[in-house]
């Protein structure tokens, strides 16, 4: 659990019994305390997304498709969390999933689990409204990617090196595809069913990369070195 989530959980635990969620607010001191640890949590979450993505790309080069689907899913999950934190929205668990928007001092139900978000809540948060990662198209892509991940983890696997139809590619064109997905400013490939398992998390992690840079935040040199050691293609690895 991140420090911001831990502090949000502790603060939420002081909500009076029976008080409606819409009426419960944090004190300025509580908000400042959570806000003070956000930058570190942003970096940790962004790194989790980048290392998952790097491992996935390395797996695709080796045709380790089941492993890569899992890592691509987690990269997308961590990217979405990172973007929330960048916008001062903190997900946390208190017997259920919740979100606290620090800017608006507002709590909302976060979803059925930490993997199944309440996307309607995102639409109510001014901090996230208009952000493409929380659009309806993004929701559909995330849900589909989660389904792929659950298929390989719980239902049935795609035996390596057999390729799932949405991952048909060769070792030599992985780098080219990533460039296309990364630079797809019109989101042509991002949500397409035959591409989204790679294109969607690619678009997310490079968006995170830009947003983290805009805030003048950076991962440690040790983490950057490890990312570069995993990253299998000539192009710059996100966050390094």
Position with higher pLDDT, 125 vs 225: 225
Q: Which pLDDT belongs to residue 168?
A: 60
Q: Which pLDDT band, with edges at 50, 70 and 90, does 208 fall under? A: very high
Contacts of 116 (CB under 8 A, 6+ apart): 146
Residue 202 has pLDDT above 90, yes or no: yes
Share of the chain above pLDDT 70, in %: 92
The CA-atom distances, in angstroms, between 199 and each of 18, 74, 97, 124 are 45, 14, 28, 27
pLDDT, tens digit, 9 for 90 and up, residues 152-192: 877 666 666 555 656 665 556 888 889 999 999 999 999 99
Q: Which pLDDT belongs to residue 161?
A: 55
Residues 51, 227 contacting (CB under 8 angstroms) = yes
Position with higher pLDDT, 171 vs 222: 222
Q: Which pLDDT belongs to residue 127?
A: 72
Q: How far apart are CA 167 and CA 123, in angstroms?
A: 31
Q: Which pLDDT belongs to residue 42?
A: 98
Which strand (E) or helix (H) includes residue 90? strand 89-93
pLDDT, tens digit, 9 for 90 and up, residues 51-93: 999 999 999 888 888 889 999 999 999 999 999 999 999 999 9
Q: What is the DSSP letter of 152?
A: I
Q: Which pLDDT band, with edges at 50, 70 and 90, does 112 fall under? A: confident
What are the strands of the beta sheet with 106-111, ordered from one edge?
89-93, 97-101, 106-111
Residue 195 has pLDDT above 70, yes or no: yes
pLDDT, mean over the chain: 90
Q: Which pLDDT band, with edges at 50, 70 and 90, does 104 fall under? A: very high
pLDDT, tens digit, 9 for 90 and up, residues 134-152: 999 999 999 999 998 888 8
Q: Of 104-113, 145-154, 206-215, which has the strongest mean pLDDT?
A: 206-215
pLDDT, tens digit, 9 for 90 and up, residues 24-60: 999 999 999 999 999 999 999 999 999 999 999 999 8
């Amino acid at each position: 659990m991140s420090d911001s989530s831990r502090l949000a959980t502790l603060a939420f635990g002081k909500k009076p019994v029976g008080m409606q969620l819409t009426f419960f607010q944090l004190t300025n001191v509580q908000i400042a305390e959570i806000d003070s640890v956000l930058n570190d949590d942003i970096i940790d979450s962004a790194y989790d997304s980048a290392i998952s993505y790097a491992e996935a790309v390395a797996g695709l080069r080796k045709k380790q498709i089941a492993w890569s689907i899992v890592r691509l899913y987690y990269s997308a999950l961590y990217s979405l969390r990172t973007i929330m934190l960048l916008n001062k929205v903190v997900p946390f668990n208190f017997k259920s999933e919740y979100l606290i928007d620090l800017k608006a001092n507002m709590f909302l139900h976060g979803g059925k689990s930490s993997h199944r978000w309440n996307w309607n809540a995102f639409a109510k948060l001014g901090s996230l409204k208009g952000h493409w990662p929380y659009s309806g198209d993004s929701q559909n892509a995330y849900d589909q990617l989660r389904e792929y991940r659950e298929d390989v983890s719980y239902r049935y696997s795609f035996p390596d090196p057999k390729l799932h139809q949405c991952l048909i590619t060769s070792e030599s064109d992985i780098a080219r595809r990533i460039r296309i997905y990364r630079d797809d400013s019109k989101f042509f490939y991002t949500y397409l069913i035959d591409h989204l398992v790679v294109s969607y998390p690619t678009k997310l992690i490079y968006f995170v990369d830009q947003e983290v840079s805009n805030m003048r935040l950076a991962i440690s040199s040790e983490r950057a070195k490890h990312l570069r050691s995993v990253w299998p293609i000539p192009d710059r690895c996100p966050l390094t």
